[in-house]
Every structure is written in structure tokens, then in C-alpha cells.
Amino acid sequence: MKNPPKRSRRPSGPANRNVAVLVYDGLCTFELGIAVEMFGLPRPELADWYRFGLSAVDAGPMRAAGGMRVLADGGLEQLTGAGTVIVPGWRGVDAPPPEALLDALRLAHARGARLLSFCSGVFVLAATGLLDGHRATTHWRYVDALAERYPRIHIEPDVLYVDEGSLLTSAGSAAALDLSLHLIRRDYGPEVANSVARRAVVPAHRDGGQAQFIQSPLPEQGATLGKLLEWMRRHLDQPLPLPQLAERARMSERTLLRRFEEATGCSPKQWLTQERLGRARELLEGSDMGVERVAEVCGFGSADTLRHHFRHHLKLSPARYRERFTHST
């Protein structure tokens, strides 16, 4: 009998747990709230959680969306001791970031800090020059402006977030939740990320890209499609060809394709690929299941097909992805 596979130890957190969140005049309140919810709330059930602080870009009190005033714990000097720096949006894509802020971000990154941007905050990271030659994303409304002003950045317009190691960017507003949970998974493992997601009452992992949120009216057959999507999720290990899906939805294939794209922003095949990738990621993060078995359970059929989709969509192999969430024993 073969020995059972050795279970990897759960990640115990980043070496530097200090999280500095930038606050500025014209602050994006929603994005700041996400940073507080994800990284700033006390979590006594989780040992060695992040140490959270606000770092002022401007002299306070600073105005925030909704008529609030914000005072910070300190200024940009706090970035020198931060392991993670978050830019929760920016006051305007046409508003140049202060040079002192750009210098502080460059210095923090050079010292090993991870830099995260939410939504329009990517324009601050772009202005540092650190994103040149790297992939990044932002809200779909700002993609063209970002591409025009910073042509050396490889922009991913249809994703919820991009992880380039120490440079991480999210798409619009609520995608900051997806990026934050992704980083928590990197730092503490899937069980902790799932716990944080449950407390916030949000999905632990959301598949798909921004296309699903751009002019996607609810079709007349919305209820029928909702039931079909749930059924498809329960049968990811099966082939699920289009004729079978159309028959189950009681539509013609052409009608199903049109209404599916109206509701989700993609075709059934593309949607299935994203759902299968999401399930594969969960299994790679939280189980000892081999890559071949993961491919079978998720409906990819073979490890080679799974590897192809991981490299195409995530720019790394399943094995490398698993390493991000585990420590070697």
C-alpha cells in the first residue's frame, strides 16, 4: 500500500504583518471600508493577524466621499515599516499623485513591501513606474485611460485582480474584496480566507471577469438560467455539451447562447472553464488531491488540459499555484 500523501502545513502569515492604508483628501470611502473589513478588524480567533494603520497623504482632517472627515494614525513615514501598502482608489485619474507619495511607495517596495491598489488606485502605482513591464488591471471605465498614459503596463481588462507577486491590482470597487481575500489566502491559507469571507458574508472566491458586469441586462429567462447555472456547478465533472444544456433549459441552442451571454457576459464554454478553474483552485489550496485527480473532478479530463488552462488564465502551473498557499515540509 502506498503511503498517503503528506499534508502541507497551513501558511502562518506574512513575515511583516504591518498593513498601511493610504488616506487622502477626496478619499474613496467604499474602498477604504473594504481595507478595514479585510485587514483592520480584530480577529481574536486567528493568531498573529495583520497590524493595521492609516497613513495620511495630505494634512488632515481629509475629506472622504459621503461628507466624512478622516484623521490618520500618521503620515507617509509609516510606509517604511510596512509589509503591505494599500492604495484604496484615488481622488481622480487626472489628479497627479504627490511626488512625496511616489517616493515613499518606491522606497517601501524596495524594502520588500507589497503594494496593492483598489480600482483607480492603480494610477498611483503606475505613476511610480513600478508597474512598467508588469500586468495590472483597474475598473473597466479606466482601462483606456490607463493604457494611453502608461503604455509599458500590460493591462488585463477582463479580470477581477492581478497578482504580480509584490504588485497587486484589483478592478473596480467590489473587486477589492476578491483581491483582499486572495492575499489572505496567500498569507494564511484557504481555511482562514474562507472564515474571513463568511464573516463578511461574501463569496470566498468569485470567478469570471469584469465583462459580466458591463451592460448585462437580466434576460426574461433569468430564473431558468439561474437554475441551469446551479445545476452546471453541481456537475462540473461531466462534459456538459451545449445540446444537453439547451435541452435542460428547454431552449434552442441559439437562444441559450444569446441569453447566456446576456446574463453572464460569456459563452457556456467560457463560463464552465472559469467555474472549473475556481473549483480546481479550491482543491489545490485545501486538499492533498493530485493534479490528475483534480483535473478529473473539475471536468478538465486530464492533467495536461488543466495545466493548459492554468497557464493560459493564471500564468502559472497548478503545482506552482499550490506552492503559493502552502509551506514546504
* φ, ψ of residue 132 in degrees (nearest 5): -55, 130
Q: How many CB atoms lie within 10 A of CB 312?
A: 10
Closest to 267 (Cα-Cα) out of 283, 246, 248: 246
> Could you read off the pLDDT of 99-111 as tens digits, one per residue?
999 999 999 999 9
Long-range contacts of 101-106 (CB under 8 A, 24+ apart): 101/22, 101/57, 101/76, 102/127, 102/128, 104/76, 104/79, 104/80, 105/79, 105/130, 106/130
* CA 270 to each of CA 130, 194, 274, 276, 305: distance values in angstroms, whole numbers, following the listed order: 32, 25, 6, 10, 14
Q: How many CB atoms lie within 10 A of CB 146?
A: 23
Paired with 9 in beta bridges are 327
> Could you read off the pLDDT of 210-254 as tens digits, one per residue?
544 444 333 444 567 888 988 999 999 999 999 999 999 999 999
State percent of the chain over pLDDT 70.
89
Q: 206 or 202: whose pLDDT is higher?
A: 202
* CA 52 to each of CA 173, 178, 182, 195, 243: distance values in angstroms, whole numbers, following the listed order: 20, 19, 18, 19, 52
Q: Is the pLDDT of residue 125 over 90?
A: yes
Instruction: With beta carbons less than 8 A apart as the criterion, state whether 277 and 313 touch.
Output: yes
Structural domains present in the chain? 18-200 (3.40.50.880), 220-329 (1.10.10.60)
DSSP string, 31-50: HHHHHIIIIIS--TTSSS--
Rounded to the nearest angstrom, the gap between the alpha carbon of residue 267 and the centroid of all alpha carbons in its chain is 22
Cα-Cα-Cα-Cα dihedral sign, residues 229, 230, 231, 234: positive
- Taking the C-alpha atoms of residue 306 and residue 304, their distance in angstroms, rounded to an integer, is 5
One-letter amino acid of 298: C
Buried b vs exposed e over 45-70: b needs ≥16 C-beta within 10 Å? eeeebbebbbbbbbebebbbeeeeeb
Mean pLDDT of 282-286: 86
> Could you read off the pLDDT of 59-89 as tens digits, one per residue?
979 999 999 999 998 999 999 999 999 999 9
Question: Three cell numbers at 172?
Answer: 473596480
* CA 144 to each of CA 86, 220, 328: distance values in angstroms, whole numbers, following the listed order: 23, 32, 42
Give 28's pLDDT tier (boundaries 50, 70, 90): very high
Question: Three cell numbers at 67?
Answer: 461628507
Give 329's pLDDT tier (boundaries 50, 70, 90): very low
State percent of the chain over pLDDT 90.
64
Decide: helix, strand or coil at residue 68. Answer: strand
Q: 159 or 147: whose pLDDT is higher?
A: 147
- Taking the C-alpha atoms of residue 166 and residue 156, their distance in angstroms, rounded to an integer, is 17
One-letter amino acid of 203: P
